[in-house]
Amino acid sequence: MEIAGIPTVEMLYSDQTGYFKNVALTNGCPNIRCVAVPRIGHADEAVPQFIDKVIKALTDPLTAKEKEVGLYSPPAPPRVIFEGTLFEAQDYLQQTTLIENCRQCPIAKYTDGLPVIIPTEEAVAAMLTGTSHKPTETVGQAWASPAMQWGDTKIPETPAGAAISYAQKYTATVEKVAITAVMAGCKPQYMPVAMAIATSGGGSTNCPGTSSMATTLYFVSGPIAKEIGMNSGQNSMDVGNPANMTLGRVGALMTVNFGGCITGAVRSDEGNMVHSTMFAEDLDGLPMGWVGFNQESTHYDVATKTNVNYTAKDSVVGKGFAWGFASGFYSFPGYYRSLNQGQMGLARWLGVEGTPGYYNWMEVIMPIVQRAMPSPSGQFFIMHMNLAEILRLHGFKTKTEVYQWMCDTYYITVHDYWNSGLYDFMTNGGLAIEQTSGKSYIDLLKTDPNYKLHLCTASPMSNCIVVADSFADEHWYWGIFAGRPSAYAIDPWK
């Protein structure tokens, strides 16, 4: 059976257990029992506060209402939600509701909290001129996605054309993407990029999910960045560029409008400030022999059942997920240039003071990364073009050679991993099998605690460098526990 209806936004706002009920509803158990459990305090003090309620919830016979099952099918929202003047429409879209989980602060229902361009029939029709696709077409995958393994879970192959599912099982049409693009302030020529963002799931794809300090970050790699005037140079992640700024809003508006993810009512992995802008990879700033993220990325060809690389002519949206971004340790003006002259602190650090040359400056920052995040994962760097060029002059003729060096050079021990906050979560309490040894992590911990794990994983292409934010002083960004971003095709949406 299908469950008719969904708790209203107001119900979710007013109910502390609304988040849990929403997840249960989406997964086919609409009337789950919920018991609030304290998250702080010692067990001998906390357990008496809730254990009787838990036992009762587990042992009391289910009511007829609680026995209802079935997957939730969302009601079709109206195509037109308001009629009136532009000022009245702005007020309507900016309406808020007080949210208990943010100390009774007002949260916008339909926007990211900022004023938007009103998506009138005329404005949406103009936006739709930026794509050849029909307004009624359901947003689907441009290419097939190959089957993947994440931990102990196998993610099955997703066929080309499969509808993209947003939070709470909603889907979207091309027209709905155009509506969010209008609201964000995009121009029609940005529409193919907005469509690629939609195929990525919009902003947070873990909604309803858990709250964290994570961020979703987007960038464009390919010729379309120049075509629509994106900033890939100085301050590319700062304000000012219309394409970067407005496309940065699109994902967040999709999260709200496609899936009903309302901050404070339905939790999601979108708690970091770095999620309101997009930038472009500086393909003109790539060192000789290096290729862009687009050429490093693949799509799955159903006919040949193989992964096929995009080319330099293809444009893709890169979508990265990180628990935050560190902005370049030792990125003060002139530091890396001084290193090449054999001067100042970095030269002393590497033991090359007084000897000019092109040195691998990553030997300074990787040990810091190693200490800051002692967990095997792909590493993601956004790198100034001059720093990339220094690496090439040092001897790394391709990005892949940098990735291989990272994999071969930096390790952490099982014991250090065990001491990190990620160990229990990522290894299922040590029961998961470590791939290179074939043993469980808990067995390794007992028998060989100094066993070395690849800090940057054993697979070089799990790591990623994007050259961007060029000109001015040299700097870099490190995505904490980020890994290689996923790529989503833009060109099929032209």
* Segment 326-370, tens digit of pLDDT: 777 777 778 888 888 899 888 998 999 999 999 999 999 999 899
pLDDT at 103: 75
pLDDT at 210: 62
pTM: 0.86
The token pair that represents 94 in the structure block: 């900016």
> Mind listing the pLDDT tens digit for each residue in 172-221?
999 999 999 999 999 999 999 999 999 988 876 556 666 666 778 899 99
Torsion angle, CA of 319/325/329/331, rounded to 10 degrees?
Answer: 60
**Beta partners for residue 221, in sequence order:** 316
**What gap in Å lies between CA 121 and CA 138, rounded to an integer?**
19
pLDDT at 269: 54
**Are 257 and 307 a contacting pair, CB within 8 Å?**
no
> Mind listing the pLDDT tens digit for each residue in 13-66?
334 445 555 667 667 777 888 887 777 778 888 888 888 988 999 999 999 988
Q: How confident is the model at residue 244 (pLDDT cuts 50, 70, 90)?
A: very high
Ranges of each domain in the chain? 1-75, 86-281, 293-493
pLDDT at 270: 53
Average pLDDT over residues 214-237: 91
Name every residue whose Cβ is closer than 8 Å to that of residue 435 and which is 6 or more positions away in sequence. Answer: 458
Q: Give how far Cα 384 sits from Cα of 209, 233, 259, 390, 440, Å.
A: 34, 9, 36, 10, 40
Q: How confident is the model at residue 236 (pLDDT cuts 50, 70, 90)?
A: confident
pLDDT at 126 over 50: yes
**Highest averaged pLDDT of the listed ranges 67-81, 156-170, 210-224, 232-246:** 232-246
